[in-house]
């Protein structure tokens, strides 16, 4: 039971990656936007770069603190996060980048669904089926990711 509770979640690879990314942006003099992680119980202050006037960007993102998926909605000068629940992920991924290559299996958690959807997008962009590591994700999200890759391998064999 050593230091298991109350430990700040600031040593994950995801947080390292995020911190480095923000430092890089800041060092280029980019103006950053602030918003809070949309998940209650987290509310982590997230920074992001802005976009040009008239543009909107809405990538699926992962909170560096709680590691849950959300939609990052960025317009010029403002940003917010939208919780990406299973139905939203399925629908919105469909709307933005076309239907999922394989539907998310029934009765899985939202976190699992997020991992699955991420892998689906990853494969669409030509990602490697034999990828070895995706960072220290929540267990269920990593499971969704791996099972989507496994399904793809099965489909191609
Ligand atoms: Zn969070």
Residues 21-45: pLDDT tens digits? 889 889 998 889 999 999 889 999 9
pLDDT of 62 higher than 50: yes
- In this model, does residue 142 exceed pLDDT 50? yes
Mean pLDDT, residues 151-155 taken together: 89
User: What are the DSSP E strand ranges found in 13-130?
Assistant: 32-36, 45-49, 56-57, 60-62, 69-75, 78-83
Give 46 Cα–ligand 1 centroid separation in angstroms: 9
DSSP class of 103: P
Which residues, in sequence order, are bridge partners of residue 36? Answer: 45
Res 84 pLDDT > 80: no
Distance 137 CA to ligand 1 centre (A): 13
62 alpha carbon to ligand 1 midpoint, in Å?
8
Phi, psi (deg, nearest 5) at residue 154:
-65, -40
* Ligand 1 centroid from CA 44, angstroms: 5
pLDDT given at position 36 = 95
Residue 156 C-alpha to ligand 1 middle, in angstroms? Answer: 36
Query: What pLDDT, on a 0 to 100 scale, did the predictor assign at position 48?
Result: 92
Mean pLDDT of the chain: 78
Residue 7: pLDDT above 50? no
CA of 82 to the centre of ligand 1 (A): 11
């Amino acid at each position: 039971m050593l230091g298991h509770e109350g430990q700040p979640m600031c040593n994950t690879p995801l947080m390292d990656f995020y911190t480095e990314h923000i430092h890089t942006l800041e060092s280029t003099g980019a103006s950053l936007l602030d918003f809070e992680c949309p998940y209650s119980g987290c509310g982590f202050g997230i920074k992001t770069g802005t976009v040009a006037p008239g543009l909107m960007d809405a990538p699926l993102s992962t909170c560096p603190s709680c590691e849950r998926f959300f939609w990052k909605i960025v317009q010029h000068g403002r940003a917010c996060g939208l919780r990406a629940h299973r139905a939203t992920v399925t629908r919105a991924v469909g709307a933005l980048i076309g239907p999922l290559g394989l539907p998310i299996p029934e009765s899985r958690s939202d976190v699992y669904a997020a991992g699955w959807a991420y892998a689906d997008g990853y494969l669409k962009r030509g990602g490697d089926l034999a990828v070895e590591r995706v960072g220290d994700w929540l267990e269920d999200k990593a499971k969704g990711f791996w099972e989507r890759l496994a399904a793809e391998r099965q489909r191609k064999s």
